[in-house]
Amino acid sequence: MGHKENSSSPPWWQVVAVGRNPTVTFFRLLLLVAITFGVFQYVIVPIRVTGISMESTYRDGQRLYLNRLSLRMHPPQRGDILGIQMSGSSVLLLKRVIGLPGERVAIRKGQVYINGDSLDEPYLNQPVTPWNYPTHGGERVLEANKYLMIGDNRTMPQDLHEWGLIDGDRLVGRLRR
């Protein structure tokens, strides 16, 4: 005596593909697509590391995700790695926050100074190249809403790096620590 299928129930392949109620499955699918679109439009930003400016923290070709909401909940902190909006919506730089608004910053022979104190940067590749900022010597006071951001790979010559003062309005999102 074989199993007899109920004539009112859909075949097994239809149940597997679309469920017992195709209308409910369709609305669940629409809801899933809308949530996914919303998350990737307003919360998560995928980013692919290109280049070596953040080595050895991140490597070329690595895929990461920025969290847009984290910057709305907490302002940038020293040490955060943030995405910076460059030209157009698809060009982002990934850099580390070194100096915060209102601070006095200087880089002398590769060593960063914040308000006159040497900054401990255990994430750096060693040895660092003897960068200097400001180039004329002395210190620079960061204006309101300005951040000094630099990549972690400072073994490269200073002029080969994209880095510097970034307006807070250009910050897109934060990577998890």
Domain identity same for 122 and 66: yes
Residue 108 and residue 25 share a domain: no
User: Concatenated DSSP letters for 64-130?
Assistant: EEEEHHHHHHS---TT-EEEEE-SSSS-EEEEEEEE-TT-EEEEETTEEEETTEEPP-TTS-SSPP-
Is 123 in the same domain as 78? yes
Please give the pLDDT value at position 84.
93
Query: Whose structure tokens read 């074989």?
Result: 2
Domain containing 126 — which CATH number? Answer: 2.10.109.10
Quick one: pLDDT at residue 7? 61
Same domain, 30 and 79: no
The structure tokens listed for 36 are 């996914």
Q: For position 102, what pLDDT does the model report?
A: 97
pLDDT 10s per residue in the chain (177 long)?
A: 555 555 677 788 877 777 778 888 888 888 888 888 877 777 788 888 988 889 889 999 999 999 999 998 999 999 999 999 887 667 788 999 999 999 999 999 989 999 999 999 998 877 888 889 887 778 999 999 999 999 999 888 888 888 889 999 999 999 976
Residue 97 and residue 68 share a domain: yes
Domain coverage including residue 35: 12-41
Q: Quick one: 59 and 131 in the same domain? A: yes
In this structure, the answer to whether residues 33 and 78 fall within a common structural domain is no
Output the pLDDT for position 149. 95
Residue-wise DSSP of 2-51: PPPPPTTSPPHHHHHHH-S-HHHHHHHHHHHHHHHHHHHHHTEEEEE--S
Are residues 23 and 51 part of one domain?
no
Q: Total domain count for the chain?
A: 2
6 located within any domain: no
Instruction: Report phi then psi at 73, rounded to 5.
Output: -85, -35
Please tell me whether residues 25 and 66 are part of one structural domain: no
